[in-house]
């Protein structure tokens, strides 16, 4: 039980690389998620401002836009309309028709001020 265990160099390097990747993911993944969430919130706020300029009533709970966006994204995630993968949100493939329905319900407001940039519009 007190004998020395020897590992081949290649196995040691593979284990070391795997440990380094795990540590890197553990350290960097939260900051990547934070970056993309911040970017997503900025885009949603821009769309809300455009809709308010058109005369749309955008309900902001607690008078806090950041809270409203966080809750909205959480509700869409709970209803499985969108999903998060590696810190990025996207439309669930089987729910695109429902999301298009929601988008079409406010399309007339967007048409008044010009279209929302195509990068922000979900496509079927």
d(CA 15, CA 105): 53
> What is the H or E stretch that residue 83 is in?
strand 82-85
The more confidently predicted of residues 60 and 118 is 60
Question: Would the pLDDT of 121 be above 70?
Answer: no
Q: pLDDT digits over 72-118, tens only?
A: 888 988 999 988 887 778 888 898 889 889 888 878 777 765 555 44
Q: What is the pTM of this model?
A: 0.54
CA angle 3/5/10 to nearest 5° reads 170
- Residues 44 and 69 sit within 8 Å (Cβ to Cβ): yes
Question: Would the pLDDT of 21 be above 60?
Answer: yes
Question: Would the pLDDT of 33 be above 70?
Answer: yes
- Residues 90 and 83 sit within 8 Å (Cβ to Cβ): yes
């Amino acid at each position: 039980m007190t004998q020395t265990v020897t590992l081949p160099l290649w196995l040691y390097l593979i284990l070391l690389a795997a440990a380094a990747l795990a540590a890197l993911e553990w350290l960097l993944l939260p900051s990547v998620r934070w970056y993309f969430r911040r970017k997503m919130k900025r885009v949603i706020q821009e769309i809300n401002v455009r809709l308010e300029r058109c005369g749309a009533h955008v309900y902001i709970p607690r008078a806090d836009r950041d809270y409203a966006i966080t809750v909205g994204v959480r509700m869409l995630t709970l209803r499985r309309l969108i999903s998060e993968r590696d810190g990025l949100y996207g439309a669930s493939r089987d729910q695109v028709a429902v999301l298009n329905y929601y988008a079409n319900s406010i399309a007339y407001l967007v048409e008044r001020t010009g279209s929302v940039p195509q990068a922000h519009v979900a496509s079927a």
